[in-house]
Structure 1
Amino acid sequence: MKLAVVFPGQGSQYVGMGKDLYDNSSEARALFEKADQLLGYSLSSVCFHGPEEELRKTPVTQPAMLTTSTVLFREFSKRNKIPVQVVAGHSLGEYSALVAAECLYFEEAVQLVEKRGRLMEEAASKGEGGMAAVLGLERSAVEKACREASAAGKVEIANYNCPGQIVISGTAGGLEKAAELCRALGAKRIVTLNVSGPFHSSLMKPAEENLAQILKETVINAPKYPFICNVTADFVSDVEEIREFLTRQVSHSVLWEDMVQNMIVHGVDTFVEIGPGKVLTGLIRKINREVTVYNIEDLTSLENTLAKLEEVI
């Protein structure tokens, strides 16, 4: 077995995440309390009790997802007997992957993603824009639609999630025209996403520029596990390259489908999604039905996944 551990991004959060770990693990409790202390408010209370509107705020969601994912990974690592061969994350999940790989210190990372969230929110507030998922259309057709829609407004591909699911990002005019063109090219559905801005597009350049300054001051170590990044869909171990790709990621496409395919080419046959929800589990199954995929989002799924992994050792 060759095991990859992957971490979800913003959008997978839900009220109640991490609560059973907090209640049952002193290490989990200590990590949530450390996040509360560093951020200056009770992040744990928002994770466990909401309100949902507060948890959905980008500067809150990002440290909440990172903390919950890190807690889950550490609980998994204590009992997992199979070597982790690769770590990766989707957008924000990349930071959880780098904490898991001991590339970023948790204490720095939780504050870093809170600042990243604020910068993204500020950039989003400067102009009208959003995101939409295009379902049932090949990537070349979506790329063509975005190019042809550019006269109506900026619109770009934000996420190459899996075959038949591509997310576009841009101004309202650009999105509307691109959606019209995608329908004409045969898209089955266009779903407007409930997000606060045009993330992973060049409209996020102001956030990228400010994030670059923060990342310059962030301690980054060589990753303990092989790490594959969003921007290139390739493995990267050089510390300065990791710093650069984390900066660029804010305004560039997330090449998730390509990342998964690359991991499989390098021998990965088992994926464990660690973090709230099952979004990546579903995407990986659509990318390749031959691989085995598990998810860990609470104590029950942790126990189930560990038991299944034990069976195949």
Structure 2
Amino acid sequence: MSKVIMFSGQGRPVIGMGKTIADTTQKTKDIWDCATDLSGIDIRKIAFKGPMPKLIETTNQQVIVTAINLSMFSMLEELKDDTIYLGHSVGEFSALYASGALSLEDTIKAVVYRSQIMHKISCECKAGMYVVKDLSKNELANILSCSEFSEKLDICCDNVNHQVIGGEIKDLKPFCNELRCQGYEVAKLDVSGAWHTKIMSRGCDELYDALKEVTINKPKYSLVMNVSGKEENNPEQIKTLISKHLISTVEWKSSLETCREKGGREFLELGNKKTFNSTCESCFSPFSDWNYKHFNDLKWEV
């Protein structure tokens, strides 16, 4: 039986996030200091005090999410070699760090490069992302294909039972209104652009080039990646997938299924909020040999 460590991404920021963990230990203090120094952003001030528009901005939110994820990881007991790592969207960089593919400094650098590229593109058009609840990816794809927005919007994340759709607001809002009229629950995500959509296309090459400034190693531990939904261990392939990540669907359902195939039964989420409990339940409820916990469910001493 393997433990699966899952790192959450952005989209659910709250003022005060990370405050209880940022300087809990010397390790967490070092992580937040490193993220502050390499990003040039006072992430403690923005995370703890806002304002919300600054916290939502992806150049800030991605770095803050990463600092929280890595701080939680640093406080875990030593993990076994058969631990499996994965992260959702920007959370994937935390998984890269945990698996040994990236150093702390290169993890922060990569997140900063990614967030700056995404922010630059997002400033060129008004775009966003919405969660669509209680639909499979195929069901949402069928509804989208029959609409006038089929070539304009993209399914950003296959979150098992809750999908995420993104695109320009002028297309996204009327499509989401159609979904509401059909009885589906739709909610806006607190992000500043449409990630994992065709809008981000020109950012792929930019990110690939920027990643020349970081060293990607062969992971020491099992790493499952969003774009393929499979285990990856080739550094050049990892670099390619990170770059394609900007326009590709987060294949979270496939990723979780890969973890189970590899023996994953204990699922632990690291991140500001519980976001993966329902996705795990939707994937694994037919089985009785798995369990889910969030970092905040654990007890630790400092």
Whole-angstrom CA distance in 1 between matches of 2:140 and 2:90: 24
Q: Bigger shift: 127-136 or 241-250?
A: 127-136
- AA aligned to 2:10 is Q
Whole-angstrom CA distance in 1 between matches of 2:173 and 2:19: 40
Q: Deviations over 1:111-135 (max 9, x none)?
A: 2212211211221221232222222
Structure whose residues are more often helix by fraction? 1
Q: Which residue of 1 aligns with 2:58?
A: 58
| Preserved contact between residue 21 and residue 68 of structure 2 (Cα < 8 Å) | no
| Preserved contact between residue 57 and residue 191 of structure 2 (Cα < 8 Å) | no
Question: What does 1:17-28 align with in structure 2 at a 5 Å threshold?
Answer: 17-28=17-28
Q: Which residue of 2 aligns with 1:310?
A: none
Say which SS state the counterpart of residue 191 (structure 1) adopts. strand
Whole-angstrom CA distance in 2 between matches of 1:267 and 1:106: 28
Shift in Å, 1:38: 2.2
Do residues 107 (structure 1) and 105 (structure 2) align?
yes
Whole-angstrom CA distance in 2 between matches of 1:192 and 1:72: 27
Shift in Å, 1:203: 0.8
Say which SS state the counterpart of residue 9 (structure 2) adopts. coil
Unaligned runs of 5+ in 2: none
Question: What does 1:1-313 align with in structure 2 at a 5 Å threshold?
Answer: 1-76=1-76, 79-80=77-78, 82-150=80-148, 154-163=152-161, 165-176=162-173, 178-179=175-176, 182=179, 187-289=183-285, 290=288, 291-297=290-296, 301-303=297-299
Q: How many residues align?
A: 298
- AA aligned to 2:168 is T
Unaligned runs of 5+ in 1: 307-313
Whole-angstrom CA distance in 2 between matches of 1:137 and 1:276: 25
Whole-angstrom CA distance in 2 between matches of 1:268 and 1:126: 42
| Preserved contact between residue 22 and residue 68 of structure 2 (Cα < 8 Å) | no
Give the alignment's TM-score, normalised by structure 2: 0.89
- AA aligned to 1:21 is I
Whole-angstrom CA distance in 1 between matches of 2:189 and 2:235: 34
Relative to structure 1, is the Cα distance of residues 81 and 255 closer, same or farther in structure 2, using a 3 angstrom cutoff?
Answer: closer
Whole-angstrom CA distance in 2 between matches of 1:243 and 1:83: 23
Q: Deviations over 1:263-312 (max 9, x none)?
A: 11222111011121111233222322342011115xxx4417x9xxxxxx
Whole-angstrom CA distance in 2 between matches of 1:43 and 1:211: 23
Whole-angstrom CA distance in 1 between matches of 2:189 and 2:13: 15
Relative to structure 1, is the Cα distance of residues 260 and 33 closer, same or farther in structure 2, using a 3 angstrom cutoff?
Answer: same
Give the alignment's TM-score, normalised by structure 1: 0.86
Shift in Å, 1:199: 1.3
Whole-angstrom CA distance in 2 between matches of 1:205 and 1:46: 29
Relative to structure 1, is the Cα distance of residues 96 and 140 closer, same or farther in structure 2, using a 3 angstrom cutoff?
Answer: same
- AA aligned to 1:14 is V
- AA aligned to 1:102 is G
| Preserved contact between residue 195 and residue 246 of structure 2 (Cα < 8 Å) | yes
Shift in Å, 1:15: 3.1
* Identical-residue share of aligned pairs (%): 24
Shift in Å, 1:187: 4.9
